[in-house]
Amino acid sequence: MVLYDGTRFEGFGKIVRGNKILFRMDLEDKPDIWDRELVHRIEFDDIYQTIAYEYVQLGPFNKHELLRVIEPGFLTLYAHNETNWIPNFPPELSGGPPSTPISSTRFYLKRKNSDRLFEVVANQRRWKETLKLCFEGCSEVLEEINGENIGNLIIEDLVWNYNEFCADYSN
């Protein structure tokens, strides 16, 4: 777990409802509840990678939410996973569970030292224009956006290319 002042703690954490974090230093300890007031991010070690979540404000009037960091850098790509349950009607005739989960992922881009967050929606008519705005000044990525069939673009690759070839880390 990483606090806003840069302090790091190693231990055992879990994200729970309400964008809270249950965290304990030792398995025998009782977990403490942490939130965005002190915590900047939490990292989970997987076998081959570190999976990180950061508190990000989705809009000027929205609360902060924990979003998964997909591609960190000068331009960071976040993912927000949502699952909604759709009722099966009528449940007694469907022969299955009373509801079905429908999952979706929303992607957001944020520049370092900026509070502005761009939502990147692949099925939006103006997706190409949004991508051009996010990657302005980077001819390598703009060539990909203009040259490809828009449905073939992979946002993770575009962000990685931007951070690798065009990011201005001096800002």
The predicted pLDDT at position 69 comes to: 95
- Note whether residue 132 is domain-resident: no
- Is 69 inside any structural domain? yes
Tokens of residue 171, six digits: 């800002």
* pLDDT level of residue 96 (50, 70, 90 thresholds): low
The CA dihedral of 17, 20, 26, 29, to the nearest 10 degrees, is: -80
- Confidence at residue 114, expressed as pLDDT on a 0 to 100 scale: 82
Please report whether residue 73 resides in a domain: yes
Distance, CA of 125 to CA of 54 (rounded, Å): 29
Q: Which residue has the tokens 């880390």?
A: 169
Tell me if 102 is assigned to some domain: yes
- State how far the alpha carbon of 158 is from the alpha carbons of 74, 132, 143, in Å: 13, 11, 11
* pLDDT recorded at residue 82: 77
Token digits of residue 45: 């070690």
Q: What is the pTM of this model?
A: 0.79
- Please count the residues of the chain: 171
- 147-150's contacts with Cβ under 8 Å and 24+ in sequence apart are none
Q: The domain containing residue 108 runs over which residues?
A: 46-124
Average pLDDT, the chain: 83
- Does residue 9 sit within a domain? no
In a domain, 66, yes or no: yes
Residue 4 lies in a domain: no
* Overall number of domains in the chain: 1
The answer to whether residue 133 is domain-embedded is: no
What is the distance of C-alpha 4 from the center of its chain? 18
62-79 mean pLDDT: 91
